[in-house]
Structure 1
Amino acid sequence: MPNNTKLIVLDRDGVINEDSDEYVKSPDEWIPIAGSMEAIARLNRGGYRVVVATNQSGIARGMFDLETLSAMHKKMHDLANEAGAHIDGIFFCPHGPDDKCHCRKPKPGLFEEISARLGMPMEGVPVVGDSLRDLQAGTSVGCKPFLVKTGKGKKTAEKKDELPAGTLVFADLAALAAHLVPADPFANNRK
């Protein structure tokens, strides 16, 4: 992989799609947050490889199975493609909070797997989440934390003292993408 390739790690529920306290359990319940797919496309045009790191304890809880999760992710990929976006990979933890696994955020396992699979160090890589555990998992391996106020983000933002040092806060993924890629690289001076 070229050294100039940039990487960004996004949480899924509450960052890319609407979150639910009852869990997102089917493709029909998987609803993108307005502007999120276009934000991913903007990040791609700015040279970012986009990967998703998500806890999916609904599997361990018996709320949905791997086939249903795959269908949700197919919908996400299809909608991303329609918006001109590309998601390079989805890394998920299927375990519940009592399973003592190493991959459930806030533990760093998903990020270590991303680094190993892509052959890229995680130091300085933006991690985008709506919850404290998203940011903690990323910062534990050297990622730069970004909080979005979608999903659980507004409540998380109120816990200023608990946020990792240097956390930047944005209204949503679109605002963050505009910050990281201020000028759309393919916008030409049309007259």
Structure 2
Amino acid sequence: MQKALFLDRDGVVNVEKHYLHLIEDFDFIEGIFELCHAATLSGYCLIIVTNQSGIAREYYTEQQFIDLMSWVVDEFAKRHLTILDFFYCPHHPVHGMGGYRIDCTCRKPKPGMLLEAERKHNLNLSESILVGDKLSDIKAGKAARLKTAALVGTGHRVSEQEINTADVFARSLKELKDQLFPFTVKANHGI
């Protein structure tokens, strides 16, 4: 069984933008690749888990989302990083249109995407880490009984309640890397 570093997308992998779905609007957050290199060196596989209510609201299609994610996976690969998989929730219980308007089990703060990843890839969730920028991410990580639910201040503004709910808090991805993977920082300085 392998352990995973689960990454929320908007606000962790990329700069938070209103219903982002175009490659030309996609900007990686400083430190994401260094964090992922440290995680990989520490034996973690990389998986993205993301709520995408823009699909439910019909701002963009699932295919547009998948096309963008394929580009993201390629960008990681160019930096010698493998995104094992990505999981997304296209639903919204209130603002969804048609079949997307459901109270599903995959939308964070529910742990559905994490549990699906566990089944699909035979993961050890009790040794896995989730990195998110919102309370819903942290709650999903705790509901799935992950080893660590880490909150970063790179996306949404974080409250004291959110900081206190998380197992780890860091203002930047570099700071988070130093907290989660301190030994790889010294051994692999300059990645």
TM-score range, shorter chain: 0.7 to 0.9
TM-score under structure 1 length normalisation: 0.85
User: Does structure 1 residue 141 correspond to structure 2 residue 137?
Assistant: no
2:75 counterpart letter in structure 1: L
TM-score under structure 2 length normalisation: 0.85
DSSP-derived class of the 2:53 partner? coil
> Going by fraction, where is helix more abundant, 1 or 2?
2
1:60 counterpart letter in structure 2: A
1 CA distance for matches of 2:188 and 2:27? 32
- Equivalent residue, structure 2, for 1:24: 20
1:183 counterpart letter in structure 2: F
Distance 1:102 1:166, change over 3 A: closer
Match of residue 104, structure 1, among 95, 101, 107? 107
Question: Which stretches in structure 1 are left out of the alignment for 5+ residues?
Answer: none
Identity %: 31
- Equivalent residue, structure 1, for 2:97: none
User: Does structure 1 residue 45 correspond to structure 2 residue 48?
Assistant: no
Once the two structures are superposed, the pairs formed by residues 15-164 of structure 1 within 5 Å of their partners are: 15-20=12-17, 22-98=18-94, 99-143=102-146, 144-152=148-156, 155-156=157-158, 158=159, 160-163=160-163
Q: What's the CA shift for 1:78?
A: 1.7
1 CA distance for matches of 2:56 and 2:79? 32
2 CA distance for matches of 1:106 and 1:166? 13
Distance 1:185 1:19, change over 3 A: closer
2 CA distance for matches of 1:146 and 1:54? 15
- Aligned-residue CA RMSD (Å): 2.2
Equivalences, count: 181
Q: What's the CA shift for 1:184?
A: 3.0
* 8 Å CA contact retained: 2:134, 2:162: no
Q: What's the CA shift for 1:150?
A: 0.3
DSSP-derived class of the 1:88 partner? strand
Q: Which segment drifts farther, 130-139 or 111-120?
A: 111-120
2 CA distance for matches of 1:97 and 1:49? 31
User: Does structure 1 residue 13 correspond to structure 2 residue 10?
Assistant: yes
1 CA distance for matches of 2:82 and 2:7? 13
1 CA distance for matches of 2:107 and 2:13? 19
* 8 Å CA contact retained: 2:138, 2:166: no
2 CA distance for matches of 1:137 and 1:166? 11
* 8 Å CA contact retained: 1:135, 1:164: no
Question: Which stretches in structure 2 are left out of the alignment for 5+ residues?
Answer: 95-101
* 8 Å CA contact retained: 2:151, 2:166: no
Q: What's the CA shift for 1:124?
A: 4.2
Q: What's the CA shift for 1:31?
A: 1.3
Q: What's the CA shift for 1:178?
A: 2.7
